[in-house]
Amino acid sequence: MVAKGCVKKTVPSAGAGGAVRLGRSRGGTARPVLRARTCATLSVSPRGGNLRGGNLRGLLRVSVPVFGQSCRAPRSTAPTRAVKADDALLEQQLPEHPLLRRGTLSNGLRYVILPNSTPPQRFEAHLEVHVGSVDENEKQQGLAHLVEHVTFLGSRKREQLLGTGTRSNAYTDFHHTVFHIHAPNLNSTNGKPMLPQVLSALREIAFEPDLLPSRMEKERRAVLAEMQMMNTIDYRVDVQLLTYLHEENALGCRFPIGLEEQIKQWTREDLVEFHDKWYFPANATLYVVGDFESSDEVEAMVGDTFGDLLPRMGEHSVPASRHDVRPPVKHTYGNLDKHASAYGFGEHLEGEDEGLSVTVPETVKPSIFRHPLLHEFSINMFCKLPVMRVKNLQDLKRSFIGRVVLSVLKFRLNSHFASDEDLKITSFDLDFSDSGREGCTVTTLTVTAEPRHWKEAIQLAVNEVRRMKEFGITKSEFKHYCEALLRDSRQLSEQAGTVPSIDNLDFVMESDALGHVVMDQKQSHEALESVVDTIELEEVNSYARSILSYISDFGSEADLVREGEEARFADDMGPTRATSIVTCIPAYVDKDGGSIATGGSHARGQNSMGQMDHEELEAIMEQGGELPVPEDSGDAFNVPENAVEFNLDATEIADVISEVRSLPLEPVEDFEVPDNLISDKELGELIALSEPAFVPLEGQQRVNSEPDPVTGIVQKKLSNGVAVNYCKTDNEPQAAMIRVVASGGRGVEKPMAAPNGLGSVALGTRALSEVGAIGQWERQQVELFCVSNLIHFVLETTEEFVVLDFHFASTGGGIRAVMEMIHLLLQSPRWDESSLTRAKQAYRAHYSSLGKSLERATLNNALTAMVGQSCCFLDPVPEELDAVTLKGAAEVLMAQLVSRNLEVNVVGDFDEGELEDTILKLLGTLPERSVDWSEWVDHSIEFVRGSLQQNNTKFLLADSDERACAYIIGPAPYRWQDISASGGEAASSSGSDGLGGFMDFLGDAPKERQEHPLFMSVSLSLMAEIINSRLFTTVRDSLGLTYDVSFELQLLDRMKKSWYSVSVTSTPAKIDDALDASLHVLRELTSRRVSQQELDRARRTLLARHETDLKDNSYLIGLLTHLQCGTVPRKDIRCLRELTSVYSAATVADIYEAYNRLGLSDQEIYTCTGVSGESLGEEEAGRQKQLEAAAAIAMASRNGNLFEALRIALENGGGKK
């Protein structure tokens, strides 16, 4: 499993197949109305290092119900006057999903079965054992996770699934251990049904493991390596957040990864004892979701496979049953009205309502986590509440209102962020959601800022919360967000049959854990439509006061109780108070209070991994004490030059939050939201002026109107040169995706610090996105226009292309809406200096934090050694950022966004006639322009040939905890390389529309295979799959040197070279061995030849993945991209027609045609090893100083400052490496 990003209320969980999983358990919220859908965001994602604008700007997420058996007629507007709700209506119970089948075997095993046809001919089987880290005693911390590793990876039957097109993995969290398998209906090797084989493997994994000592030792090493790999500063922050959020229970001190000293000491008997205690049928639930015709047959297979397992016998020879409360975790909640009906106190189990009685509310004291590897100030304000279970229409209505409140507040905060020239807030997030893994609901406000702006950031965010709490949302906001949520719900109800099995399974599992009713998408929409007319604006505002009062009234909780008696809050929620506040701050800042790069070290603290003896914790709390904050170790830090200590105290932070109440406050003003960005009159004038038309494709005599008979793709071209590819699919009913691609990207930046030099395209895309305004419309108008039309837009740049991606609703005028946005963005963009300033500040912050991330810095060092300093493949440095001007950034970006350099790709569910007509009118009226490539430098990759010492470097990071990683990078062929042509590159492929070459390709002659445009791409993909399998088997499994190692290809489309990379993590003591072993695996393909079995397995895996991904519009649009791109001449429609045939025809010899073109000699390989620890030692510190001096010399020389370069060299003994 891949490490999931973790902010605010998160659940660390550990996975056997990869890294510890940090993220909202089971994908986050599972409340029926909380199917996350992203709308109305302009964000930029520069690749290669690299900021994603959405993280910095706070994505606006709008979530709606997804359930009902029938759908009413589409509604065009939200209710302007609420209908009086009948109490009997709102008390009506929600219906359960009609196809969901539940049952319990005689031995107590529970099962849930759900037919689901997406993806076709595949299914998910997840076995959830109800045991996790909170079930461990004081001497078992991490044992649940280790048992998961040993049972899963020690299963012979699981190994027999390899090569059948099956994917499997496992993870452990606080309460659960889950083994999950994704499989085809039929075994690709023998044609037999896979479900019996998968169920048999799950039975062996959970209930009949060998628990061999040899496997235990392998997994002990793997878990210890995983512990070091995951222990990034981000993980440590997450641990701190959970520690203080759940300081009153075991969730705050029991983390699935465990304690190192205990993991090293356990014996096989310890594993057997733990397994025997917790792994029994009545303590497990099996979920099977997939494309099968008969639930009866699946149910029978479940009984045949698991029915003969013996039940666990309890006292008096009575079969043991699943624990009613697992475990009885007691929370201290922040609600100030014990009798509020939303919390369903009467339904809660014994012990579950602890903490509900608050008679004398106290103001919580902020906690502070200070660390030298932290880069920015952040504050997290939490309010923990009981889960508000969704069982009837009133519950559904309340959840819908909560989404409206949070969506509007996010919109307002986003608007403040976009207009803030000083970038006081660098990011924010607002969340109100449930967690079945933590057994509670948590509202979270997270604000991140430059340290010098910490006060202003808190004031801005809290004051906006106050504004909503005091004045509520406006009529316009209420109208537009209700419309958007209702429209999204309708769209999702139409997509009921297209939701992937894994998403439905996760939803059911999480809903069961929370006690929500599980409905299907149509049921949910029907239920929502029955209550939406009853929602009043004042009712929404009362819920806003309830949800947000813990922020707006911090410090005056006693007043909140009195206000609650005056009925200013929602009747069924009442007011709320903060239950914890966690502030994370850097140890040092510069003299102006700004972030500073540092790698200081300090002694490992007792709580550096967030672990604390639970009995000790309880004793502290019972005595009225506070949780210990990690202590500042003072002189143990290596203080960076020109740095000053950054210290805050809890009282100061609390005072800043409380004092916001004294700031002036005014209600927001409503503003006009247009129905169209371009009026009918304006559009008519554009058409009359441009006379747009479709023209024949190159080499054709007439305009193409027919879809390709194999792929269904239609290719067209406008008279102004815009190329169009589209494909109608039913993957997401009533939804579509558009990708606009322009050749160029960062590759046309001048290779120097200049107004339109390095970084100019990256800054230009971000600055244009930051403005958010287009044509005559201001940012707020554009964003609400996007909300109303369910448009999500991302503008990004890569090394080779500028890309505009739009997801949108394709009905109700959605096609016109998104085409209007594209037209105005390309023809009438808005630029301003403040947006460029914010973009520069964001990149500077990203740059200055580079040295605090072991992985980022290590990879950056390896890339720099490979491509040199002046390169568009590296993030811009401060000198380059300073040189870029608004005029230069706009010039180099807009020079690419011209009609004859644009390719428009559309995938989704739409009316073809409407799409073509709208494209003709709105994209065909763009002015006809071409790129004058003679004015721009189009970069290519030039690999630096340095000495072995220069090519193989080390990065050393002073830190409290030891970690290590390494990267291997080397040259690789580019995606479209033609090895059949004499002299290197061949001319473009014929692009014939006929199918004549199809059968020729299936022949055995290698020349025909090598001539195919896909030959290199397919051969490299198969090779990568094989190498990854060998890396795992050798470096991870056999040698036990790592927990995570992977081989990746960075394939380019325009440039004639690419590169590969290997990333590996380990301990500092083993990282060199792990790197050497990984390099040996890479090189040994020459001595240990690829077998036919390896090729067949890789082919089945990739083809199965391709078939599954075809149901994803994002994947499909990637296939269409570049079909008519002049700078990618070898890609044409034949590539899509024959993709699976190329894979089927590939041979072992083809693998070696690709492999032999990798750079694998000592002179061609670039490596960097990164190590962090408490002390670098004098020799290592000196080496690090030399490396930094060499980089400074190179930077000064590149910028023409030879005197500065000479000065640095003399001060550092010549700057020798």
List of long-range contacts for 15-19, beta carbons under 8 Å, 24+ apart: 15/169, 15/170, 15/171, 15/172, 16/148, 16/149, 16/152, 16/153, 16/169, 16/170, 16/171, 16/219, 17/152, 17/168, 17/169, 17/170, 18/169, 18/1043, 18/1044, 19/226, 19/229, 19/230, 19/1043, 19/1044
Give the tokens for residue 1050.
């960075």
CB-CB contact of 718 with 786 (8 Å)? no
Beta-carbon contacts of residue 397 (< 8 Å; ≥ 6 apart):
90, 531, 532, 534, 535
CA distance 560 to 577: 8
Our measurement of the distance from residue 1184's CA atom to the centroid of its chain's CA atoms, rounded to an integer in Å, reads 33
CA proximity to 563, closest of 578, 542, 579: 542
CA distance 517 to 1184: 58
Point out which residues pair with 443 in neighbouring strands: 383, 432
Q: How many other CB atoms are there within 10 angstroms of residue 348's CB atom?
A: 17
Beta-carbon contacts of residue 88 (< 8 Å; ≥ 6 apart):
none
Beta-carbon contacts of residue 746 (< 8 Å; ≥ 6 apart):
46, 761, 762, 797, 798, 799, 872, 939
CA distance 1168 to 1171: 10
Give the tokens for residue 470.
């005091």
CA proximity to 229, closest of 858, 850, 851: 858
CA distance 957 to 856: 12
CB-CB contact of 753 with 1199 (8 Å)? yes
Q: For the residues of 912-979, what is the DSSP string, one character each?
A: HHHHHHHHHHHTTTSPP----GGGS-----------HHHHEEEEEEE-SS-EEEEEEEEEE--TT--S
Torsion of CA 704, 707, 711, 717, to 10 degrees: 30
Give the tokens for residue 461.
């965010």
Q: For the residues of 1131-1179, what is the DSSP string, one character each?
A: --HHHHHTHHHHHHH--HHHHHHHHTTS--STTT-EEEEEEEES--HHH
CA distance 1163 to 729: 48
Q: How many other CB atoms are there within 10 angstroms of residue 152's CB atom?
A: 26
Query: Which residue's structure tokens are 């719900």?
Result: 489
CA distance 537 to 532: 11
Return the SS3 of 323: coil
Cα atoms found within 13 Å of the Cα of residue 940, Cβ hemisphere only:
6
Beta-carbon contacts of residue 289 (< 8 Å; ≥ 6 apart):
113, 114, 115, 116, 123, 124, 501, 502, 504, 505, 508
Q: How many other CB atoms are there within 10 angstroms of residue 1033's CB atom?
A: 12
Give the tokens for residue 358.
């608050």
**Catalytic: 1211?**
no
- H-type alpha helices, 759-885: 760-771, 779-788, 814-827, 833-848, 854-867, 878-883
Query: Which residue's structure tokens are 């009205």?
Result: 337
Return the SS3 of 237: helix
**Catalytic: 148?**
yes
The residue from 124, 128, 136, 148 that is catalytic is 148
Beta-carbon contacts of residue 119 (< 8 Å; ≥ 6 apart):
291, 500, 501, 1107, 1108, 1111
Q: What is the DSSP letter of 1109?
A: H
The residue from 219, 477, 563, 770 that is catalytic is 219
Torsion of CA 1093, 1097, 1099, 1101, to 10 degrees: 180
Which residues are identified as catalytic? 148, 219
